C-alpha cells in the first residue's frame, strides 16, 4: 500500500506529530481506519463536555409611580433623581407632576413614592392644588394593596413645617395603602438626607426577584404627559443657570412710594423652559452691610472666607424657633431657651425682627464655626415670570418689587429684591 499525506498541515499537531500520524494512517487498511475512527469517536463521547450555563428567566420590571408637588423645583429634581436610582434596581419608574395627575387612576398604583413641598403657611404648591384637593376629598379612590412612602420638604421658618407632606402621608394610609418607609421631613439643607432616604425606600419597596410572566402595565393617568429621563430639569437650586442681565429698569416714578423693577434676562440655554405664571428662583446674595453687622454683633473674627460664605451661601436674615433653640444650646442661656420654648413669646419677639436682633438682644461671643453651624443655606427667592417664550423666545422677564422697611429702630431690606435693585446692573450676570 502506498504511503501519502492524509493529515493536513493545518491540523492542531506539531510537524513531527503530523508526520508520525501520516506514517500510521498512510499504511493502514480501510478496516483499520474504520476501527480507529470509531475508537476515537467513542473516546471523545466518554469525556464529559462542558455544558452552557443556564440562562435565568427575565426578571419582572416592577412599575413604580413617582409623584411630586413642587414650587421651586426641589421636589421635581428629587423625583427625577429617584427615577434613575429606581432603574438600577429593576423598577420601571414613571415620574409625574401632580399638576398632570388624575386622581381616578391612583387606585391602580402598586408602588408609590411622593416628594411633596409645602408652600406658605402649610399649603400645597399651586400646581398641585387640584390633585391635593381631590386626594383629600371623601370620594378619593381606595388604595388597598398599594405600598407608599412620602418625603416632605419645607421651611422651618414657617409654623406649619412640611404640612403638605404630612397630610399626604396620613391620607394615603387612610385610603388603605401600606407605608413602606417612614415619612422624612427636611428643611432647606435636604440634598444628602433625601438621597439616603430614597435609596433606603427603594430597597424596601423592591419585591423579591420573580421571573417575568406578564407584560408590565403602567397606570394611565389620563391627563399625564409621558416624561422621560431627558425631561428632568436641566437647572435647579444646585445647578442654576447663570444669566446675563439684558435690562434692569425702575418702572416707578420719582414721587412713587413703590419701587418696581423690570428685569430682563438672557436665558437662551438648552433645557431652560417656562410657561407664563411659572415661578423662577433667583439665587441672590446678602447685603454686605448686614454681613458686617452680623460679624460685629457676634464678635467673630472678620476674615474674608467667612464674609464670603455669609454673603453668598448662608441665610442671615430668617429668625426661626429651631435656630433660637440651637443658639440656646450653644450658649447655655436660660433666657434664650425660655424664648424658644414659649411659642407665644417667640412670636411676639420675632414679629418684624431678623436674626441680627437675636444676637444684639442676647449677645454672646461666637467663633466662625459656631456661627455657620447656626445658619441654614440661603434659599432662592421665587418670582413669577412676566413674559412668554412665544413672544420672547430667548429671554425671561421678571417684575420685582424692592422691599425696604424700618422696624425696631433698624433699616431692613429684602434679600433678593434689593440685591437686584442696588447691586446689579445691565451687562452683569445673575
What CATH number has the domain bearing residue 399?
A: 2.40.30.10
Average pLDDT, the chain: 86
Query: What confidence category does residue 422 fall into, taking pLDDT thresholds of 50, 70 and 90?
Result: very high
Note whether 13 and 123 are same-domain residues: no
Note whether 272 and 154 are same-domain residues: no
Q: Which residue has the higher pLDDT, 206 or 7?
A: 206
Domain annotation covers residue 416: yes
pLDDT at position 55? 57
Note whether 336 and 402 are same-domain residues: no
pLDDT at position 184? 96
Q: How many domains does the chain have?
A: 4
Looking up residue 343, the CATH number of its domain turns out to be 1.20.990.10
Note whether 345 and 398 are same-domain residues: no
Note whether 256 and 292 are same-domain residues: no
Note whether 12 and 94 are same-domain residues: no
Residue 82 has pLDDT above 60, yes or no: yes
Q: Which segment of 36-40, 128-132, 356-360 scores lowest on mean pLDDT?
A: 36-40
Note whether 268 and 359 are same-domain residues: no
pTM of the model: 0.70
Q: Which domain holds residue 85?
A: 62-207+216-231
Domain annotation covers residue 236: no
pLDDT at position 50? 65
Note whether 202 and 263 are same-domain residues: no
Segment 220-257, tens digit of pLDDT: 554 444 444 446 677 877 788 899 999 999 998 887 88
pLDDT at position 217? 45
Nearest to 250, CA basis, from 395, 397, 402: 402
Domain annotation covers residue 370: yes
Domain annotation covers residue 429: no
Note whether 78 and 127 are same-domain residues: yes
Domain annotation covers residue 120: yes
Query: What confidence category does residue 341 fall into, taking pLDDT thresholds of 50, 70 and 90?
Result: very high
Note whether 80 and 165 are same-domain residues: yes
Looking up residue 184, the CATH number of its domain turns out to be 3.40.50.360
Residue 278 and residue 281: Cα distance in Å, rounded? 10
Q: Count CA atoms closer than 13 A to 382's CA, side-chain side.
A: 14
Query: What confidence category does residue 266 fall into, taking pLDDT thresholds of 50, 70 and 90?
Result: very high
Domain annotation covers residue 136: yes
Residue 219 has pLDDT above 80, yes or no: no
Domain annotation covers residue 354: yes
Domain annotation covers residue 46: no
Note whether 183 and 220 are same-domain residues: yes
Segment 140-184, tens digit of pLDDT: 999 999 999 999 999 888 888 999 999 999 999 999 999 999 999
Q: Which segment of 25-34, 307-316, 359-368 scores lowest on mean pLDDT?
A: 25-34
Note whether 147 and 19 are same-domain residues: no
Segment 358-415, tens digit of pLDDT: 999 999 999 999 999 999 999 888 888 889 888 888 999 999 999 999 999 999 999 9
Amino acid at each position: 500500500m502506498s504511503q501519502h499525506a492524509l493529515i493536513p498541515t493545518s491540523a492542531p499537531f506539531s510537524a513531527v506529530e503530523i508526520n508520525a500520524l501520516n506514517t500510521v494512517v498512510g499504511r493502514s487498511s480501510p478496516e483499520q481506519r474504520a476501527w480507529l475512527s470509531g475508537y476515537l469517536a467513542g473516546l471523545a463521547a466518554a469525556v464529559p463536555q462542558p455544558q452552557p450555563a443556564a440562562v435565568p428567566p427575565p426578571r419582572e420590571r416592577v412599575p413604580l409611580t413617582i409623584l411630586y408637588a413642587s414650587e421651586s423645583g426641589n421636589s421635581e429634581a428629587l423625583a427625577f433623581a429617584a427615577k434613575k436610582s429606581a432603574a438600577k434596581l429593576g423598577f420601571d419608574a414613571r415620574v409625574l407632576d401632580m399638576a398632570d395627575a388624575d386622581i381616578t387612576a391612583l387606585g391602580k398604583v402598586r408602588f408609590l413614592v411622593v416628594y411633596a413641598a409645602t408652600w406658605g403657611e402649610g399649603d400645597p404648591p399651586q400646581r398641585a392644588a387640584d390633585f391635593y384637593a381631590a386626594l383629600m376629598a371623601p370620594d378619593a379612590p381606595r388604595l388597598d394593596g398599594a405600598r407608599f412612602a412620602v418625603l416632605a420638604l419645607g421651611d422651618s421658618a414657617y409654623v406649619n413645617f412640611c404640612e403638605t407632606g404630612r397630610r399626604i402621608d396620613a391620607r394615603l394610609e387612610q385610603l388603605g395603602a401600606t407605608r413602606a418607609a417612614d415619612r422624612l421631613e427636611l428643611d432647606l439643607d435636604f440634598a444628602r438626607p433625601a438621597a439616603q432616604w430614597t435609596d433606603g425606600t427603594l430597597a424596601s419597596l423592591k419585591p423579591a426577584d420573580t421571573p417575568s410572566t406578564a407584560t408590565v402595565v403602567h397606570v394611565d393617568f389620563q391627563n399625564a404627559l409621558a416624561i422621560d429621563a431627558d425631561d428632568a430639569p436641566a437647572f435647579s437650586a444646585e445647578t442654576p443657570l447663570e444669566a446675563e442681565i439684558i435690562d434692569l429698569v425702575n418702572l416707578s416714578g420719582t414721587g412713587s412710594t413703590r419701587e418696581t423693577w423690570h428685569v430682563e434676562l438672557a436665558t437662551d440655554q438648552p433645557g431652560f423652559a417656562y410657561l407664563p405664571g411659572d415661578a423662577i428662583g433667583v439665587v441672590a446674595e446678602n447685603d454686605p452691610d448686614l454681613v458686617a453687622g452680623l460679624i460685629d454683633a457676634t464678635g467673630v473674627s472678620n476674615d474674608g472666607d467667612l464674609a464670603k460664605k455669609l454673603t453668598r451661601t448662608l441665610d442671615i436674615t430668617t429668625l426661626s424657633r429651631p435656630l433660637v433653640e440651637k443658639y440656646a444650646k450653644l450658649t447655655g442661656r436660660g433666657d434664650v431657651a425660655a424664648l424658644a420654648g414659649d411659642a407665644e413669646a417667640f412670636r411676639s419677639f420675632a414679629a418684624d425682627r431678623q436674626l441680627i436682633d437675636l444676637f444684639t438682644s442676647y449677645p454672646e461671643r461666637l467663633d466662625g464655626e459656631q456661627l455657620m453651624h447656626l445658619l441654614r443655606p440661603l434659599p432662592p427667592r421665587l418670582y413669577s415670570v412676566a413674559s412668554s417664550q412665544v413672544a420672547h423666545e430667548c429671554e425671561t422677564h421678571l417684575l420685582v418689587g424692592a422691599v425696604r422697611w424700618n422696624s425696631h429702630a433698624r433699616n431692613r431690606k429684602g434679600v433678593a429684591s434689593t440685591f437686584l435693585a442696588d447691586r446689579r446692573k445691565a451687562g452683569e450676570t445673575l
